[in-house]
Structure 1
Amino acid sequence: MTSTARLNLPYIAASQAQKEVTHNEALARIDALAHLVILDRDLSAPPAANEGDCYLVATGGSGDWAGKDGRIASYADGAWAFYAPALGMLAYVADEGTLSVYTASGWKDYGALLSSVATVSRSVSGAESRIGTVEEELSLSGASVSSSIVIPDRSIVFGVSCRTTEAVTGVWQYHVGIAGEAEKFGGYLGIAEGSTNAGVIGPQAFYADTPILITANGDTGSFTGGKVRVVIHYFLPIVPQE
C-alpha cells in the first residue's frame, strides 16, 4: 500500500528520496481534514480564499472546481487541493452554525445544537423540528414594556424565564406575560437585582407572533428604571419543503 486506507495519507517509501515532500503532503491533508471546518457548502465557483480555508464544492463546480462536485476543497500554498469525504467525518459548517456528519447516504446535519434556535431533527423532505431559546434584556419605563423578540407563530411554548439584571424602581413587583394575560409566565416577581423566575406553563400552541409583556405592579403603577432579561423557551415545527 502506498497510502492509508481512510484519509489516503501518503506513506514514505523505503529508501525514498525527498521524503519531506511526502511527509508534508500528509501533514497538509491532516491539517485540512482533522477537526474539519467548512466555510460554505453552497458555492459552485471558487471564492477568494485565505490560506487554510475549506469549502464543500456544490453541484456544478466551475473554474478551478470543475469536476470536483462533492469534494472538500482546501486552499493551501496558493492553490486548491481536493479531498473525498470519509465515512463518519464530522464537519462544522461555519456559515450555517451547524454540525454535519458524512454518512453512506451523504452529509447529514445534526443541527446548531448550541445556537439560540437549533434544528434537532430533519426529514428527507426538509421538514424540521426546532428548539428555541431566545432572549432579550428590556429596559423598564412606564406602565409596561413589550419585547421585540416574539413567541413564533405555530410554536409550542414551554415557558418564559426571566432575571432582574438591574434593580427595578418605581414599583413593588412586576408581572411577565402577554397582552391580555399579564401574569401568564409569572406574577409579583422580585425587583432586586439577581431575582429570577422560571415561568413554566403546560405546553401551549400559539397561532401568531406574540411579544412578551412586562407589567408594573405597585402603588404608582409605573416603572422608573431597571432592567429584566426575558427568555422564551419553545418548540417550532417546520413544514416539508418539497
Structure 2
Amino acid sequence: MTGETPRWTLPLLTAGQAQKEITHNEALTLLDMVVQPCVEAVGIDTPPDAPVPGQAWVVGDQPVAAWKDRAAMLAGWTEGGWRFLPPRQGLSVWNKAEQCRSDWDGTAWRTGRVVARELTVAGKKVLGAQQPAIASPDGGQVIDIEGRYALNAVILALRSHGLIASG
C-alpha cells in the first residue's frame, strides 16, 4: 500500500509509524477542506493578506507568492499555513463571492453552470432535452398580424433559452 490515498492524496498511516497523530491530523485537515467545500472566491491569483483558519479559495491561472505553481488548486488556510488540493473532475465548491456553485470539469472551473438531463419540480418534469426547431408561422387563409407577432416572440424566447433548436 502506498503512503497516500489514490484520489485526494491524503496521507496514510503506516505500520510502526512514529507520531501517527501528525499524519492523521494532516489527513483530517485536508478532508476538512474538501468535504462540502465553501470558498471565498474562484480564480484569485494573489493570496489574501490576513486569511482566517478554515477559509479557502480556488487559485487562479497565474498565481503568485505562496500560491505560485498552484493554479486551479483549492487553497485552504490552516493554523499550520497553506494547504493545497488539486481538483478532481466532479469537485464542486460553494463560491461565496458569486453565491453559486463552481465546478471543476476536468480542465477548468465553471461557475454558475448547471448540467442536467432534466429539471423536475414537485415530481413533474418541467424542463428536458432540447426539442427540434419550430417553424415560424407563414401563410394560412386568415393572417392575424398580432397573433403571428406573439407566436414569433414565443418561438424566439424558446430558441434563446435553448429549449428548441433554431430553424
Q: Same fold (TM over 0.5)?
A: yes
Query: 2: CA distance between counterparts of 1:29 and 1:203?
Result: 54
Gaps of 5+ in 1: 112-119, 122-200, 206-233
Counterpart position of 1:17: 18
More strand by share: 1
User: Displacement, 1:106?
Assistant: 2.3
Check 1:10–1:204 CA distance in 2 against 1; reply closer, same or farther (3 A cut). same
Check 1:53–1:96 CA distance in 2 against 1; reply closer, same or farther (3 A cut). same
Q: Which runs of 4+ in 1 moved over 4 A?
A: 201-205
> Quick one: which amino acid aligns to residue 14 of structure 1?
A
Counterpart position of 1:55: 57
> Quick one: which amino acid aligns to residue 55 of structure 2?
D
Looking at CA atoms only, which structure, 1 or 2, has the larger radius of gyration?
Answer: 1
> Quick one: higher RCO (CA 8 Å, sep 6+), 1 or 2?
1
What is the DSSP-based 3-state SS (H/G/I as helix, E as strand, rest coil) of the residue aligned with 1:26?
helix
Query: 2: CA distance between counterparts of 1:46 and 1:109?
Result: 20
Check 1:17–1:53 CA distance in 2 against 1; reply closer, same or farther (3 A cut). same
Counterpart position of 2:75: 73
Q: Is 2:13 the partner of 1:36?
A: no
Query: 2: CA distance between counterparts of 1:70 and 1:6?
Result: 17
Check 1:101–1:43 CA distance in 2 against 1; reply closer, same or farther (3 A cut). closer
Query: 2: CA distance between counterparts of 1:52 and 1:69?
Result: 20
> Quick one: which amino acid aligns to residue 67 of structure 1?
D
User: Displacement, 1:203?
Assistant: 9.6
Query: 2: CA distance between counterparts of 1:24 and 1:203?
Result: 62
Within 5 Å, which residues of 2 pair with 1:60-139? 60-111=62-113
User: Displacement, 1:69?
Assistant: 1.4
- Asked if the contact 2:94–2:100 (Cα under 8 Å) also holds between the matched residues in 1, the reply is yes
TM-score, reference length from structure 2:
0.64
- Spell out, residue by residue over 1:171-230, the C-alpha distance to the aligned partner (whole angstroms, 9 max, x if none): xxxxxxxxxxxxxxxxxxxxxxxxxxxxxx98957xxxxxxxxxxxxxxxxxxxxxxxxx
What is the DSSP-based 3-state SS (H/G/I as helix, E as strand, rest coil) of the residue aligned with 1:42?
strand
What is the DSSP-based 3-state SS (H/G/I as helix, E as strand, rest coil) of the residue aligned with 2:29?
helix
Identity across aligned pairs (percent)? 27
Counterpart position of 2:28: 27
Query: 2: CA distance between counterparts of 1:12 and 1:62?
Result: 33
Query: 2: CA distance between counterparts of 1:49 and 1:27?
Result: 20
Counterpart position of 2:8: 7
Query: 2: CA distance between counterparts of 1:12 and 1:77?
Result: 22
